[in-house]
Amino acid sequence: MTLVHNWHLGRKMEYPYFESRPKQQFAAVFNINRCIACQTCTMAHKSTWTYSKGQEYMWWNNVETKPYGGYPQFWDHKILQLLWDNGNNPMEWYTSDDDKDATSAPYGLYNSDTIFELAQTKGLNQQAVGYIPDDKEWRFPNIYEDTAASEKTNYETGPAAESSELPEHKRWFFYLQRICNHCTYPACLAACPRKAIYKRKEDGIVLIDQKRCRGYRKCVEQCPYKKPMYRGETRISEKCIACYPRVEGKDPITKGRRMEARCMAACVGKIRLNGLLSGDYTKPDPKNPLDWMIHIHRVALPLYPQFGTEPNVYYIPPRWAPRSYLRQMFGPGVDEALEKYATPSRELMAVLQLFRTTQTMFARFEIEDGKKIYETEVDGRKFEVYNDTVIGFASDGTEMVRVQVEEPTWESDEKRMVTY
Amino acid sequence: MLNKLLFKSVLFMCAGVMLLLASNDKVFSQGVGLGAEAEATVEENIPREKALVVKYINADLDTIDKAFSQAAPLKLELQMQDRAFPNGGGSVSALEVRGVHNGSRIFFNFKWSDKTKNDRVIADHLFRDAVGLMFPLDIVTISPETPFSPRMGDRGKPVNIWHWKADWEREMDSECGFEHMEDQYPDMFTDFDFHTHPLHFHDQELHSIPLISGGRAAGNMLSQPNKGTTVEDLNAIGFSTLTTQDHQDVQGKGKWENSGWNVTMYRDLITADTNDVQFIPGVETFFNVAVWNGEEGDRNGQKSISTRWSPVKLETVKYDQ
Ligand code: SF4
Ligand code: SF4
């Protein structure tokens, strides 16, 4: 084992390889608040990569309903339980100002074991704690769809007696969109005894070499997000490939420019923004929309940072769900992120307009000021909306989109309102 | 915990090595695994005294079982693999090896007890029974002064490995030569049809294979149907380096009977492949073995192994007159 810095945890952690970050990192921001669970992303994935024999059960992209849903079933409950280790590993965070640092420890300090460290603490003969889901657990990708959680049953309260009012709904559920996180410290890669899994220097995409894999299923066992999957038909494992040909700009539609992954580009709810993070987390680029949302504005958070893999899909948490549940899922950054999302700054308001405006990945954005169009109060705070214009640029500097905060509308001439 | 981390951060200075890695085109790539592998002990570099004598008998494949009954077995004790993560195995404690050659081919026979037959790997939770036989690729002397790791060889010390697999045996014997998803999930195409394999659907699926065929397109031998052998011919130069040979030369047959496996692997004494060990009657080499018990989830380093080399001596060819 060696020590590597994990900025999600605000500290160095044990990992079987040296720290070696990619030049740029494939990443995405998912705004949970906007997802309508239409599963268009899921089908976009399926029809692109896993429509063949042995891949029937594979959904490299899936959308599950929290808190009960999971693909494979209860994956996160199971990992959390393993990590909890009968209370010996409390998964605690220190969040005083002393424990924080703007770039290297923005959420504070995680003071318990990660999946890698727990395997060591327990003296297990493997790199990380984990389990292999059996085939029944993969069987119902959308089980418990729209099933809400509540402290009380309908019988106790009478239907709808528990009101749904912000900041926390008493009866709640939300959709969690999941793909492989192309982690900075992939557990799948650490677990592979053959070193058949590699992380690309140029974009941080994590891939399983289909020639070297021997179907040992160690990645299936030790990826805490359960994203590598065993393909019985070929006797080896496969995982999300981040649509790397698109990311490389191989699709002619974007004329050689980097293109968002399929699941991202298909998103109906416009919840996803996909691109590359700049490589050095200590020097985020304030003009890169992902760097800005993740490192600077900190409105988007990693999924289960306590696992320790430094996952690279970031989520804007749902406003209505109980904070304690969200803190467990997205770490201690939740309160700050939600506050920022509930009354978005002018800049955030503008950046949110970039989501799903083009398939081309943005490397840079600019904002042009517009007029004030609206004013209100949210949670006792004044909130003003300006009709600013945001401009998104590809990495070669080409302007790809120009959108305003207020969506333009037109009214047709009355004469054209033909009725039959 | 923090103290522990502080202490460890001293170690972190060795991150200078990072620079080396950074010049690679993969962030984490082969050969930089740390901490989970231990060197072979001095004892492990002393081969066993008792050799496996490969008897010269003028037998061929049909009469080989009878020939084996005339060959003296070498009994080996096995133990769990505890050197390279993931450690494991140990459920098979002993193995009997016999050897015979007929002047042009060499045959090795293995018998071990295993109450459960695991010869399928079509689903997540299925792991195979297997046996592996390893030789130094070249003619070598092995001693504490001239060490040669009995565990997967080493850099500059390549080994040739023959790996018999129970599922390959099952497939060789089966009609279609390859187990498919529908053998595990007969209703996979539809839950509500009396025809479990509606033809049109089946066809579509089958034809889609070349499009997104993963391991099959990549030329991974494990993914190919109709391999024509039950033994994989491989090389290694240490942990994590096991690699399938381009040219497959080893054959095998195995049978599970009386709560145990009886497996034979055979090959020509001499091959044209420079990655193969060559057997010369009268010349001594070494071998080592490993056994996997699929029922226990054995695979990769999770295996029962013999920790020391055993010498192999081929009797010289005796001519009848
Ligand atoms: S396509 Fe978008 S809105 Fe629809 S389920 Fe997927 S993430 Fe949610
Ligand atoms: S999410 Fe899992 S499969 Fe993806 S990189 Fe991380 S550990 Fe590997």
* Closest residue of chain B to A234, computed from CA coordinates: B223
Give domain status of residue B92, yes or no. yes
- pLDDT exceeds cutoff 50 at B314: yes
Give domain status of residue B72, yes or no. yes
**Contact residues on chain A for B205, CB-CB shorter than 8 A:** 52-53
CA of A248 to the centre of ligand 1 (A): 24
Is the model more confident about A358 or about B44?
A358
Residue B15 has what pLDDT?
39
Give domain status of residue B277, yes or no. yes
Q: What is the CATH number of the domain that holds B72?
A: 2.60.40.1190
Classify residue A105 by its DSSP letter.
Answer: B
Q: Please indicate whether, in this complex, the C-beta atoms of A3 and B216 are within 8 angstroms of each other.
A: no
Residue A305 has what pLDDT?
98
- Separation CA A289–CA A360 (nearest Å): 13
Give domain status of residue B8, yes or no. no
Give domain status of residue B215, yes or no. no
> Whole domain around residue B246: which residue ranges?
43-178+225-314
Beta strand pairing call for A2-6 and A11-15: antiparallel
- Residue pairs spanning A and B at CB distance below 8 A: 183
A223 with A188: CB under 8 angstroms?
Answer: yes
Report the predicted TM-score, pTM, of the whole model to 2 decimal places.
0.90
Question: Average pLDDT in the B170-192 region?
Answer: 81
CA of A103 to the centre of ligand 1 (A): 31
Classify residue A133 by its DSSP letter.
Answer: P
Q: From its phi and psi, is residue B210 left (phi > 0), alpha (psi between -120 and 50) or beta?
A: alpha
Min Cα distance B72 → chain A (Å) is 35
**Candidate from A242-256, B167-181, B220-234 with smallest mean pLDDT:** B167-181
Span B86-121, pLDDT tens digits: 889 999 999 999 999 999 999 999 999 999 999 999
DSSP A6-48: ETTTTEEEEESS-----SEEEEEEEEGGG-----HHHHHHHHH
Is residue A180 lining ligand 2, measured as CB closer than 6 Å? yes
Ligand 1 atom at shortest distance from the alpha carbon of A175:
8
- pLDDT exceeds cutoff 60 at A225: yes
Residue A249 has what pLDDT?
96
Give the angle subtended at the CA of A208 by the CAs of A207 and A209, to the nearest 5°. 110
**Contact residues on chain A for B24, CB-CB shorter than 8 A:** 201
DSSP B268-293: ESS-S-TTS----TT-EEEEEEEEE-
Classify residue B299 by its DSSP letter.
Answer: -
Q: How many CB atoms lie within 10 A of CB B124?
A: 23
A interface test, pick of B20, B119, B124 with most A CB neighbours within 10 Å: B124
Span B271-302, pLDDT tens digits: 999 999 999 998 899 999 999 999 999 999 99
Q: How confident is the model at residue B198 (pLDDT cuts 50, 70, 90)?
A: low
Residue B41 has what pLDDT?
79
Choose which residue among A15, A188, A207, A230 to substitute to test ligand 2 binding: the one with the highest number of ligand atoms within 8 A of its C-beta. Answer: A188
- Separation CA A214–CA B303 (nearest Å): 15
Domains: count for chain B: 1
Which among A308, A304, A303, A302 is positioned nearest to A116, based on CA atoms? A308
Where are chain A's structural domains?
Answer: 2-346
Q: From its phi and psi, is residue B294 left (phi > 0), alpha (psi between -120 and 50) or beta?
A: alpha
Q: How far apart are the first and last CA of chain B?
A: 78
Question: Is the ipTM value over 0.85, yes or no?
Answer: yes
Give domain status of residue B219, yes or no. no
Q: How far apart are the first and last CA of chain A?
A: 75
What tokens appear for A72 in the block? 């494979």
Give domain status of residue B220, yes or no. no
